[in-house]
Amino acid sequence: MQAFGFYPSCISGLTKITPFYAPDNRGYFTKVFEKSIYAAHGIHISAQEQIYSYSQKGVLRGLHFQASHSQDKLVHVVHGAVFDVAVDLRANSPAFGKWEGFYLSTENRQALYIPQGFAHGFLSLKEGTVFCYLCGHPFDPETNGGIRWDDPEIAVEWPLEKIGGQGRLVLSEKDKYLCTFAEFMGIGSAGYKRGRF
């Protein structure tokens, strides 16, 4: 039996979690979230909605954020594997503009808590990946936006070799035309200002 484990990352508040896990001869029982245990480790998420996405290998979703009503998220893989990325967009954070990446999969059973004020995205590394988001604020289409996955200033090191190269990448039309980090920083065409979070 494996108890909950909480492992802070290099960016304040961004936390890798190993859920409760109890295998036996029938299979296993796992629990990803328990409010009191999370609170004891300084994580206070008030879940408002739970979302699942299904992705083929090579699908990249992100990097998404809400300019208002920012969502904190608890994410994990139900089936398959992803490279999950969180970018710190909190104006007063020492890590502003920095990113961290995490491999989340059925095999490692790890989850990730992403505080408010981050952009988030993932690359699906296996066919039929099912990804779960527990969100602390409802989706807000009016302020939903994002930063390009390949922005040169943020420079996320996506493991594209694991999907057969960039030619195998699958993006939505929306994600192809997200704003740049420079636009996010200024008043440019995207209309976002540093400090919205």
Which residues share a beta bridge with 112? Answer: 16, 75
Active-site choice (41, 69, 103, 133): 133
Q: Is it true that the peptide bond before 74 is cis, omega within 30 degrees of 0?
A: no
User: In Å, what is the CA distance from 69 to each residue of 30, 56, 89, 117, 134?
Assistant: 30, 30, 14, 9, 15
Active-site choice (21, 41, 64, 69): 64
Q: Among 89, 72, 78, which residue's Cα sits nearest to residue 146? A: 89
Take residue 92 and report the two structure tokens written for it: 């007063």
Annotation says 69 is catalytic: no
Annotation says 54 is catalytic: no
Residues annotated as part of the active site: 64, 133
